[in-house]
Amino acid sequence: MWSDLGVSMISIDGVEGLGEIVPGDDLAAQIADLYPLVDGDIVVVTSKIVSKAESCQVELADVIPSEFATTWAAQWEKDPRVVEVVLRESRRIVRQIGPVLITETHHGFVCANSGVDQSSSGAKDRALVLPKDADASARLIRSGFEARGLNIAVVISDTFGRPWREGQTDIAIGVAGIHPMRSYIGEVDPHGHEFRVQELCVVDELAAAAELVKGNTSRIPVAVIRGYEWTADDAASMAPVLRDTSRDLFR
């Protein structure tokens, strides 16, 4: 019915039935087996299952916290080993105020606690860290779909906070096949005016859209977005999204 209404329609659907992901799992195969993907679909994968498949987890028993981590953890009743992992995953602390630790990860993402996640690790004495190179993770999943004859864009998403606004949203941390931006530079709108908007970060919008089905249905970790005409880019990466320090006013 909906498809009669306009050519512009986009659908977002959750991939149901994925089990607990373990190291070495082939995510592309599992997703393709569960969901009838078609050429042009965009698959948005929550980073935590990528981290699990890639063994991006740290056994806390193996972590010896630094004095800095120990002192600060004691002050705010945190696990010093988790704090140590957060510091190791960061290249710079952006803000450390009260119990809040905002870091810049080795990838260049600015987020709380370097994206380190203890609750989702599946065990209390284990911490999940972000994929080492989420663009490479996305490319691996995309190539798994390609091996099945499918041209699928892949976005790896995570849930980040942001300044000025409460509540978190899902954003992209890795991409494959799809250019992260949609540029309007030099274009005019239907009324002949030049666009004020220069570039939209569509992969962040796709990640946000995907969260709507993931969150609604018991945190399903994979969503399929169909009907969005993405800009193909075989060399796609998150690099165009990462603002250079020289252009940033809030570091």
Q: Name which of residues 168 to 197 contact a copy of itself (CB under 8 A).
A: 168-171, 180-182, 189-191, 193-197
Q: Does 22 bind a copy of itself (CB under 8 A)?
A: no
Q: Does 12 bind a copy of itself (CB under 8 A)?
A: yes
Residue range at the interface with a copy of itself (CB under 8 A); choices 11-19, 65-73, 129-137, 141-149: 11-19
Tokens standing for residue 60: 């806390």
- Between CA 210 and CA 201 the distance in angstroms is 15
Q: How far is the CB of 237 from a copy of itself (least distance, A)?
A: 13
Q: How far is the CB of 148 from a copy of itself (least distance, A)?
A: 18
User: Of residues 57-76, which lie at the interface with a copy of itself (CB under 8 A)?
Assistant: none
Q: How many residues bind a copy of itself (CB under 8 A)?
A: 80
Residue range at the interface with a copy of itself (CB under 8 A); choices 60-68, 74-82, 129-137, 156-164: 156-164
> In this structure, how many other beta carbons lie within 10 angstroms of the beta carbon of residue 34?
13
Residues 84-117 as b or e (16 or more Cβ within 10 Å = b): bbbbebbeeeeeeeeeebbbbbebebbbbbbbbb
Q: How far is the CB of 163 from a copy of itself (least distance, A)?
A: 4
User: Of residues 215-244, which lie at the interface with a copy of itself (CB under 8 A)?
Assistant: 215-220, 225-226, 228-229, 240-243
AA letter at 155: V
Residues 149-168 as b or e (16 or more Cβ within 10 Å = b): ebebbbbbbbbbeeeeeeee
